[in-house]
Every structure is written in C-alpha cells, then in structure tokens.
C-alpha cells in the first residue's frame, strides 16, 4: 500500500475501506509496531497457535483446521512452533503477550508432561488471557481442554488385534510423565488383564519419533509380541521398519496399529491401520471455546472428550498359526 494510504489509516482519516484499514493495523501488530494512541483500543484480533513441531503431519493438519476456523471468525492466527534448539514454548508466550493477542490455543504443549516447566501457563491464567489446551493435560492448570479419548483408542486397537487372533500384544508409548500416554497405558493394562495377557515386557516407553518406534518395536518383537499398538503414526512407521529389519513381514508376521491417522498413512507400505483423531471436530471446538472466552463468556474447564475411530488398513492381519509337525505314523505312511 502507498504511504498515503497507511498515513490515512494511522491518522483515522475517512475514505479507507474496512479491509484496507484492518490489513494495515494487523501488519502493525504482527511486525511489533505500536499503534497510535487513538487506535490502541481497536487492536487487531490475533490468536497464537502454539505447536511442538511440524514434522509430525498431525500438527500441520490441526493448524490448518484451527487457522481456517479462526479466520472465518475474524481472527488472525499466529503460528508458533517450538524447536529443540530454538524458541521455547515459554518464549513464544512472552512474544504473544507482547503482541497483545486475544488468546492462545496450545496443541501438544508442555502441559502434557508432569515434569516439564508450567510457569508460563500459570502466568496466563493469572492474567486471565483466554487459552485452550488440546489433548490430555496435567491437572489444575485451569484452562478448557479438548481431548481425544485415549483410553477408547487403545480399546479399539486392542480388540481389533484380539479379533485377528493375536495373543501377545505390545504397546509403544511416549515418556513416563506424558499424560496422553499414561491414559493409553491404563486402558491397555485393563484390556490385557481382561484377556489374560498381562506382561510387563509388553510396554515400551520411547520418544515420539520413527527411531523411537523402531527401538521399542525391536525389543517387543524379540520378546515374542505379534501385535503392536503405537501412540503415534510416526512410531508405527518405525515399528514396521523394525519388523522388516528382523526379517518379519507386516502383517503376515507382525501387525502394527498407529494413532492419529496422519496425512498419507493410507499411502505407506503397507497402508497403516490406525486410530483416527477427529481433528476437524476438535479444532472447531477449540476455536469455539476460545472465541467464547474472548467475548467474555464463561466456559467450562472440564475436559471435552472426542471419540476416535479405528481405520483398518493393510498393516494388521490374522495371526498365522504354524502348521502342525507330521507324526511318526504319518511319516511312516
């Protein structure tokens, strides 16, 4: 835009369209410039969207849903992605506060981990800034939560493997203080007890990566597991790689179930059986909760649970039963 147009916006002159005026003021906010005093009460409605990474396809997919829903409601999403050697979640919160955002939506944040630093969440709560947490969180943070039912996800995966004849089923999870993983573990232990398949060696704690899934699956397969449930699709891809490195075929020898139904999981070899997170419904709900808070409406802080869906593809199959060895009488005949 021309300097004259920007000048007319900043000085509150008439003759400027609402779209142009909004674009100029939003640019000021995003770039960190202070608005003129007379316009500070009309600050553009920015919403922070804080994600742990973009390598796992589930997070860009969620960001797309949330960004679209925010834009339709007149908000501008500001994407913040943590990196191991870069800006931390707490640093992003400080930046967003400096930009006077209307609220923040967290997906996959440190609120999942009991041993992580949570001071920035407490600060947001004390300031009364609207925020929403997506998926299982530690207790007592005081924010509305939108979560997938992790327990039901494991129940679906476990029952699917049992129906295929698998007797020894293993579970690959995230770190020990990871709230969604612990919910999955509780459901897994209950299902294992019901089916009389309890074995402490059948649970592996690894990082959320393909390498972590491969390491955990290698140990499980060596212990005799034939069906593996993973806490993420990325871990499941690592599990498939582990099976092949050990000379096993998927699904002929080892069945693998993922979690998320990330983009392209139907294009893997074999296509991945997984439990789908309803990210469209969850993303819309998260935005609705945030916008309601911004409007001054009290919203419940109780967790909203969304039911996942088992998507059966080619990475799971019936357990092969070894052919019986011929008897001596049959051999003699």
Query: Could you tell me the pLDDT band of residue 26, with boundaries at 50, 70 and 90?
Result: confident
Q: How far apart, in whole angstroms, are the C-alpha atoms of residue 32 and residue 76?
A: 15
For 184-212, b/e burial (b = at least 16 CB within 10 A) is bbebbeebbeeeebeeeebbbbbebbbeb
Give the percent of the chain with pLDDT over 90.
71
Per residue in 91-106, pLDDT (tens digit) is 999 999 988 899 999 9
Axis-axis angle for helices 150-163, 179-194 (nearest 10): 40
pLDDT at 83 over 80: no
Per-residue model confidence (pLDDT) at position 333: 45
Give the percent of the chain with pLDDT over 70.
90
Is the pTM above the cut of 0.95? Answer: no
Per residue in 173-219, pLDDT (tens digit) is 999 999 999 999 999 999 999 888 767 789 999 999 999 999 999 99
CB 45 within 8 A of CB 294: yes
Tokens 């943070």 -> residue = 141
Per residue in 262-281, pLDDT (tens digit) is 999 999 999 999 999 999 99
pLDDT at 163 over 90: yes
In three-state form (DSSP H/G/I as H, E/B as E, the rest C), the secondary structure along the chain is: CCHHHHHHHHCCCCCCCHHHHHHHHHHHHHHCCCCCHHHHHHCCCEEEEEECCCCCCHHHHHHHHHHHHHHHCCCEEEEEECCCCCCCHHHHHHHHHHCCCCEEEEECCHHHECCCCCHHHHHHHHHCCCEEEECCCCCCCCCCEEEECHHHHHHHHHHHHHHCCCCCEEEEECCCCEHHHHHHHHHHHHHHHHCCCCCHHHEEECCCCHHHHHHHHHHHHHCCCCEEEECCHHHHHHHHHHHHHCCCCCCCCCEEEEEECCCCCCCCCCCCEEEECCHHHHHHHHHHHHHHHHCCCCCCCCEEEECCEEECCCCCCCCCCCCCCCCHHHHHC
pLDDT at 237 over 60: yes
Per-residue model confidence (pLDDT) at position 189: 95
Q: How far apart, in whole angstroms, are the C-alpha atoms of residue 99 and residue 241?
A: 45
User: Of the candidates 232, 266, 259, 278, which has an alpha carbon nearest to the alpha carbon of residue 62?
Assistant: 278
Per-residue model confidence (pLDDT) at position 39: 54
pLDDT at 323 over 50: no
pLDDT at 34 over 90: no
Per-residue model confidence (pLDDT) at position 42: 47
CB 65 within 8 A of CB 79: no
pLDDT at 1 over 90: no
pLDDT at 321 over 80: no
pLDDT at 133 over 90: yes
CB 273 within 8 A of CB 311: yes
Query: Could you tell me the pLDDT band of residue 285, with boundaries at 50, 70 and 90?
Result: very high
Per-residue model confidence (pLDDT) at position 198: 64
- Of the chain, the end-to-end C-alpha distance in Å amounts to 94
Chain-wide mean pLDDT for the chain? 90
Per-residue model confidence (pLDDT) at position 195: 85
């Amino acid at each position: 835009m021309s300097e004259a147009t920007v000048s007319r916006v900043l000085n509150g002159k008439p003759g400027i369209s609402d779209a142009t005026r909004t674009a100029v003021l939003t640019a000021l906010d995003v770039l960190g410039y202070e608005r003129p005093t007379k316009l500070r009460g009309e600050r553009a409605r920015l919403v922070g969207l804080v994600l742990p990474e973009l390598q796992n396809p589930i997070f860009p997919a969620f960001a797309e849903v949330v960004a679209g829903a925010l834009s339709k409601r007149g908000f501008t999403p500001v994407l913040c992605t943590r990196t191991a050697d870069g800006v931390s979640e707490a640093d992003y919160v400080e930046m967003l506060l400096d930009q006077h955002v209307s609220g923040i939506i967290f997906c996959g944040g440190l609120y999942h981990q009991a041993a992580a630093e949570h001071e920035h969440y407490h600060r947001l709560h004390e300031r009364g800034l609207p925020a929403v947490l997506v998926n299982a969180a530690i207790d007592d943070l005081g924010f509305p939560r939108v979560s997938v039912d992790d327990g039901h996800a494991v129940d679906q995966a476990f029952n699917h493997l049992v129906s295929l004849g698998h007797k020894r089923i293993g579970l690959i999870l995230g770190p020990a203080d990871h709230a969604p993983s612990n919910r999955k573990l509780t459901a897994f232990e209950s299902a294992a007890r019901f089916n009389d398949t309890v074995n402490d060696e059948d649970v592996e704690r690894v990082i959320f990566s393909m390498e972590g899934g491969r390491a955990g699956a290698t140990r499980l397969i060596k212990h005799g597991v034939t069906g593996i449930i993973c806490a993420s699709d990325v871990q499941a891809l690592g599990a498939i790689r582990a099976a092949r490195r050990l000379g096993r075929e998927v699904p002929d020898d080892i069945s693998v179930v993922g979690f998320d139904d990330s983009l392209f999981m139907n294009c893997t070899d074999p296509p991945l059986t997984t439990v789908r997170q309803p990210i469209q419904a969850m993303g819309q709900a998260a935005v609705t909760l945030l916008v309601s808070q911004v409007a001054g409406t009290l919203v419940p802080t109780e967790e909203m649970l969304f039911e996942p869906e088992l998507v059966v593809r080619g990475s799971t199959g019936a357990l092969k039963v070894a052919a019986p060895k011929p008897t001596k009488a049959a051999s003699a005949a």
